[in-house]
Amino acid sequence: MIVAIDGPAASGKGTLARRLAAHFNFAYLDTGLLYRAVGQAVLDAGGDPANADDAEAAARAMNPEALDDDRLRSDAAGNAASQVAAIEGVRDALLDFQRVFARLHPHERDGAVLDGRDIGTVVCPDAHVKLFVTADVEERARRRAAEFAARGAAVEFDQVLTDLKVRDARDAARAQAPLKPAADAHLLDTTDLDIEAAFEQARDIVDAAW
């Protein structure tokens, strides 16, 4: 069983994916972390995340075992991620790892859930269940600002809102694997749902596909 979850930044897809993975005993891959790791590596090397040579070199050198870095959660890493993610060679370099994870996840697991922007459209177009998770941009900015505050990072709400809008626009407008729902995705708007209610809806969709 492969579950593909896509949606814009701070829509709640990561929380949902983790909850589904725990409930159904699935392996979980946050594919945004791969792009964040590439973006952060370019920044660390003093490069330009919008430069194809810099970004592709970092993507080819990326170690998917080394994603446990708090800096990858920062706004700077998220913005760099969305710049490198628009480059075709970067997406190509990360594709195999994601597909192999989806099919050959640890054998003691009953399936895999991947979240990102193009899981249902490009990475796993034959996923058994596809969810496209959205929420109003102001609500997403409130959630993201609260996450930053909980980690002790001082970030202005207006800045978070502006960054989310820039990132969504870039992700949706790019030529390579743009952010959009797969034709057969279930749409889940979490604007007025708490985590539990969103999880129950997603769980019911997976249960029905089992």
**Residue 56, interface with ligand C5P (CB under 6 A)?**
no
One-letter identity of residue 17: A
| Token pair recorded at residue 71 | 């800096």
Residue of 3, 20, 32, 41 that binds ligand C5P (CB under 6 A): 32
**Nearest 5 degrees, angle CA 168-CA 20-CA 179?**
20
- Count of residues touching ligand C5P (by CB under 6 A): 15
Of 105-113, 115-123, 130-138, 146-154, which segment contacts ligand C5P by CB under 6 A? 115-123
Closest to 32 (Cα-Cα) out of 54, 48, 56, 11: 11
**Residue 9, interface with ligand C5P (CB under 6 A)?**
yes
**Residue 148, interface with ligand C5P (CB under 6 A)?**
no
Distance CA 120, CA 132 (A): 9
Residue of 26, 28, 35, 148 that binds ligand C5P (CB under 6 A): 35
Burial class (CB in 10 A: 0-12, 13-18, 19+), 141: buried
Which residues are at the interface with ligand C5P (CB under 6 A)? 9, 31-32, 35-36, 78, 81-82, 85, 116-119, 167, 171
Residues flagged as binding site for ATP: 7-15
